[in-house]
Amino acid sequence: MIPIVKPGEERFSALLQGRKFDLEKVEAVVAEIVNAVKRGGDRELCAITARLDGVEIEPSRLLVTTCEIKDAYTLVNEDFLTALRRAAENIHRYHRRQLRNSWITPQPNGAVLGQMITPLQRVGIYVPGGKASYPSSVLMNAIPAAVAGVPEIVMVTPPGKDGSVNPYTLVAAAESGVTKIYRVGGAQAVAALAYGTATVGKVDKITGPGNIYVTAAKRQVYGVVGIDMLAGPSEVLIVADDTARPNFVAADMLAQAEHDEMASAILVTPNRQLAENVRRELAAQLAGLNRQAVAAQSMADKGLIVLTADLEEAFAVANYFAPEHLELMLADPYRWLGRVSSAGAVFLGHYSPEAVGDYIAGPNHVLPTSGTARFFSPLSVDTFTKKTSLIDYSPAALQQEGRHAIVLAETEGLDAHAKSIKIRMEDHTQPGDETVNYVSANSNRRRVSKDQSADYSSINNQGLRDLPGMQSLKPGFGDLHKDTKAKKTNRTGQTGGNRPESIDPDGKDDRDEPQL
């Protein structure tokens, strides 16, 4: 039976210590795999897949074909397609709100400063596979990349023993903007994405969760490519008061526990009666689960009920734990929301189970785990973009500011730095017409009155794609709607048979063309 403890007791401290990443035990094995693929390319990629996964596959069959995508649609039911497209619309709508603006700001001295936001050019998403199917993981990784405007979204996923990829995974990929799919997984797939092979092109960034070998491989290739985060076992922490229903609390704890034996499900409450009732409810609900053995092991090893003096202490415990998922089953959750400092996602109230965040709500379910919510954020559009600083100095601005830069450069003993500024200041004889500033845009320099607004912004939508389910989201697969009777969706979220008139054949909306 799950124990009831107080903060600071040995079981609570042991649970916190047990959340540390233990990647060292597989580091040597993973390093051997990564280096083999780096040296041997496709040959080693396929050989390692045969040896470790028991799947014999030739390099020519690594890439999933268009015919396989179309066949996958015949193997899934309409209820799944309806649910998948609803989830995709919600995820797309939420992540559209995350798009940032590039900006340019003329300075009073004649300089022009700014920041340009551009999408990464090629990203790789890892989706667990084999016997399992995780279409939701496909949506959560691919759609933010598509919203960011990433031109190439490459997916890797382990195949089944017969070399096929789960049809639900394939349909999710086609619906969410993936441009290529490779039937390979494990640390070898991560290495292929990082270093490239003759078949699998090198990417700029790798995202998506996997097992300990995948996570260790991501850590090893970081620096060669970017990664999203290092994902550990899933976890939920529920802060509840006397208004919480024990059956709701128990159901949410077991929903987390069924992930795997390492998952953590924790209730933190100042109400002892609730704690006792939840403990009884857990035993009753556990008996009816399909994954009863997994959930039971998780609750025995990683489950906990923490009894605090009050809600203040409960939130101190929650912030110290920094959970992946934080549920606030409170009478007034918004009153306490400001006390939350570290959590991947917060679920407010009694009717916001963590499972809606996994599938349908819209916010991303790829979240920091193992206490890393103290410094990591959920996967988002920002994950797939990069920021570039813009600096444009006029002769007058350099005359005004250059001497200070020279002092700092000479202080650091970098005389060539100082000279690169001096040579321009000495060559300048006339500062020019100081009644105008110059603003650069798309390499065309134009004059702007000093009276004009000092801020120029443009939405970052370079290559921005349309809502999931539209042809422009599936450039690698063509228009599958004719075969699947898929509903097309416009930018307002309304369904219809035609694309918006303002969208060009290339999938871009002229109304949103970037100014930079």
| 411 and 395 both lie in a single domain | yes
Please give the Cα distance from 158 to 194 (Å, whole number). Answer: 17
Whether 111 and 142 have beta carbons less than 8 Å apart is answered as: no
| 182 and 96 both lie in a single domain | yes
Residue 516 lies in a domain: no
- What pLDDT sits at residue 375? 94
- What pLDDT sits at residue 19? 74
Q: What CATH code is carried by the domain that includes residue 63? A: 3.40.50.1980
Residue 376 lies in a domain: no
24, with CB counted inside 10 A (0-12, 13-18, 19+), is: exposed
Contacts of 124 by beta carbon, 8 Å cutoff, 6+ apart: 154, 155, 156, 193, 203, 205, 206, 207, 225
Last residue of a domain, one of 208, 227, 246: 227
| 15 and 161 both lie in a single domain | no
| 444 and 356 both lie in a single domain | no
- What pLDDT sits at residue 287? 92
- Look at residues 332, 334, 358 and name the one whose alpha carbon lies nearest to residue 345: 358
| 294 and 190 both lie in a single domain | no
- What pLDDT sits at residue 18? 72
| 78 and 29 both lie in a single domain | yes
Residue 473 lies in a domain: no
| 132 and 160 both lie in a single domain | yes
Residue 112 lies in a domain: no
| 259 and 405 both lie in a single domain | no
| 253 and 402 both lie in a single domain | no
Residue 66 lies in a domain: yes
| 66 and 124 both lie in a single domain | yes
| 66 and 158 both lie in a single domain | yes
| 200 and 153 both lie in a single domain | yes
Number of folded domains that form the chain: 3
- What pLDDT sits at residue 429? 53
- pTM of the entire predicted model: 0.84
Last residue of a domain, one of 415, 437, 453: 453
Q: What CATH code is carried by the domain that includes residue 448? A: 1.20.5
Domain span including residue 81: 24-101+117-227
Please give the average pLDDT of every successive group of 10 residues along the chain, which has 516 residues: 88 79 89 98 97 95 95 96 96 96 93 95 92 88 96 96 94 95 97 98 96 95 96 94 98 94 95 97 94 93 95 96 97 97 98 97 96 95 97 95 97 97 81 45 43 46 46 38 38 35 35 36
Length of the chain: 516
Residue 504 lies in a domain: no
Residue 179 lies in a domain: yes
Residue 284 lies in a domain: yes
Last residue of a domain, one of 200, 227, 254: 227
- What pLDDT sits at residue 321? 94
Q: For CA atoms 362, 368, 373, 378, give the dihedral sign.
A: negative
So which residues are the catalytic ones?
Answer: 324-325
